[in-house]
Structure 1
């Protein structure tokens, strides 16, 4: 942790502010998956309806990620982060008062806008605050916060359902979702907006549509297309695995350990460690090599799952490398995407590349199901994962290495203004 001692107090405050925001976001989001059985039993809704709520949250999250990127370019990184934290906290809290499926569907979709937006706003803020040589480590550590939030959700679920009846416990859990709003007080007092070139006058500030169009300007169009493909492959492989691998292992391999606490503990631990490993590696070997390495390892591990004869014990052991490798790619994307764009459209570019893939990647689980009609499900899953992570590898090869790239376009306000002719631009 020598690098941590090197960074300044403002850098540390921003790091932990973004870490807390993503962890609390993880808690609020993961709580829904834990209370699905209770909602099905209490309201008598079907699994399809519960799945629709989860799907609507993810799609809204993709929209929120793009909107938050535009907002951060328009009004600033810190303000955009504050808005997203307040947004997902408020709608998680309001979900506690839903009286039927339709109300919960709308409220969870609205929560999803904040859930997707928080990652984008926090990633851009942190990337512009942490010095270049430690940016990858900081971004990877913040990505690990999702795992801690996931574990926190499991802990809260266990405690609340131990003392409150199921009919009321899920409402209590969603009500606790208002707590993250208190993080905004910390942000207002401790996190400083990264310096950037201000418009000559308010009238010169570009509008939201002009900012959005900026990521399709010829100077960055190739970056936007290739970055979107990386997001597509990364999310496509992840969603194919999480959607179909449990079904395959339960129905065709008849493994029982999937529903145990031990399996969940292994997956969460692997995710956190994977983020830390990726954080260290990407500042050592570079962003491109790191993404390619983890993509190849993900594809290989999935195929080991589906083609090797394994039992419960072997499956539990293999779940560790699978969780670790799956975490490594998103832990790299924050630094990579931020280092590809100029400051004026950075938030929008990061939001688009990450969330375009989140929406379009829904085709990959569908593809697995379609292929499974004419071949074994395991073979379909292995081929699909190979395609998804193959897209990641090819796209990464088309990008420049960005490790160590300076992305600030102006000096901090406490330092003399640099000569614009020598300023470093992305």
Structure 2
């Protein structure tokens, strides 16, 4: 801690995590009589709803991520730290960092998000990466593009077929969006670019253990989404959870599908915040917070976003989506301002659901606004405008809009660069091996 901060008597707020919830809380506290320290183990804020478009070569990483320091450059009361939190000492009110140092706080906001969960099969992660970070997206993009490159050189029909098989596990919004976009990439974008293979022969298999895709949507929209995926060439397999996942493919419902590229979109696990605080958590590891989003027994600690299990007044769980995290960040900021003004007590968080959106392909989407439900091209345009609106900065909005317009009119994706790993892998006896870091050998 610097001498300046040691002598600063202002209320000290520490925010762990610069995602939607944490950043919203910081923004809403502009002008408040306090100093803020924002900690994140990455130097950028990520617009996760469009992460799958980086993974499928539609957008560049710089179009959906922004340096945290740049976003807060005019906020002199905010200090940004690139660091990893290792724990919390509630008694001493300290955030413990992995290098052995610590930060003292008066109020703490934990918004550390979640990672993908493999339901007890963590060994599957090296074969089936999930999609939560830019690193995940570039790893998946590399594997998808390398699969086509390897298939172009592969003489054995069975191995070529496996290289041209893409399996997505989990049919929530992320899984549906990935499946539809990969199908378009194979069946439209890449058709004229290879000589030894016909990319239209690629298989895209979407596996869901439940009875339907997009389970959070109404049944009619779910049915529409499935039919639209099947028209794009996606094979939708329902009611059969994956029981085995290896470098050679997957097993589900007694069936074996050889596949070189497997993507996990089936579940999430919260950060270890509940362990740091020693409080109760749900099955996904999310802290079971009080109605005002504070940790049980610790009114000076707020837990929000994917780290928290929040229940709406009607008893339904608040979904782990960006609008919910932003609303929680705003609620926390309002509560902190009230406390600084000397007001006692706090009001419960009230979630206002604005609707559910999911895209299926470049001209297909579904939207559920409650009484109003949309599907098809109109829903796709609304989906696109909504996402562009929430991007940060005019340059990024224009860049993404132009990229989508180019894809919409020309079926071209400009971000098809293999920037990591080896583009010339060594021959393998069976399927190509993968290192734990995602590079392919």
Bigger radius of gyration among the two: 2
* Bucket of the pairwise TM-score, normalised by the shorter protein: under 0.3
TM-score w.r.t. length of structure 1: 0.24
TM-score w.r.t. length of structure 2: 0.24
Which protein is richer in helix relative to its size? Answer: 1
